[in-house]
Homo-oligomer: A and B are copies of this chain.
Amino acid sequence: MTEAAPPATSGPRRGRRLTGAQRRQQLLDLALELFAEHGFDGTTVRDIATAAKVTDGLIYRYFESKEALLAEVVGQARERIQLVRAVNLDQPVEHIMRDLLTAFAQGVRDNLTLVELLRLEFRRPAAARPLANLHEEVLVTLAGLFDSLIERGAIAPHDTACAARLVAALAYGFAAIHRNLDDDQWAVALEQFCPFCVGVILYGTASGDASACPIAAPQT
């Protein structure tokens, strides 16, 4: 990092005068961005300060240490993030599944910096627990969803914990594989991939039944 700073256009002498809360949040946001982009070790306190147009010392008025800053970033991330959203269950199972997968993948995408941060720093104590919690929560939510669907007779009974893992793996993996796409490419990939997955998940690939899937016809 640390690309030569622009020669300070001597305009409003620096990003001065914010209230404590504002500055604090600004630093947290920038830190999240940078940590996710370059990793914790790859980001210097000065990088964050520079991004906020502020001197490095100031950071320590708000956070005890760089490590503490990370902890707060992760903590906030954890509160803010919600990967699996409520899905309207009163619709055909195909739509349910498609909505679920799309929303999940989109959730990962929308919180990509958070997810990347957690993924990169998962071994650091500050990040390990929140990550584990988040993960657990996702699996439980998904399993609950499948239980509901089975109860309603929408899908055949099966090991819902396993299914939750399958869907989570799919969504994580998909987001990971496509992390470098820009927003437009991503949207296209998502619209193609999710229905395809729904088709497979619901009707399998063995027979031609997948063609029975009403939401898509992903033939080559």
Interface residues of chain A, those whose CB is within 8 Å of chain B, are: 4-5, 7-8, 20, 24, 37-39, 41-42, 61-62, 64, 93, 119-120, 123, 135, 155-163, 165-166, 168-174, 176-177, 192-193, 196-197, 199-211, 218-220
Contact = CB atoms under 8 A, between A and B. Distances in A.
A163 B200 contact: yes
Nearest to A177: B169
Shortest Cβ-Cβ A-B pairs, 9 listed: A169-B173, A41-B41, A173-B173, A204-B204, A203-B204, A202-B206, A156-B208, A172-B173, A4-B64
A93 B205 CA distance: 11
Number of copies of this chain that the complex holds: 4
Given A156-B207, A166-B196, 4 more contacts: A7-B62, A8-B20, A158-B205, A158-B219
A24 B192 CA distance: 47
B165 A172 contact: no
A131 to B, nearest CB: 10
Nearest to A124: B42
Contacts of A211: 156
Nearest to A65: B4
Nearest to A179: B122
A206 B93 contact: yes
A162 to B, nearest CB: 5
A200 B170 contact: no
11 contacts: A39-B41, A119-B119, A156-B209, A157-B219, A159-B219, A165-B177, A169-B169, A169-B174, A172-B177, A176-B176, A202-B204
A128 to B, nearest CB: 9
Contact of A7 (B24, B42, B119): B24
B24 A157 contact: no
Contacts of A197: 166
B165 A174 contact: yes
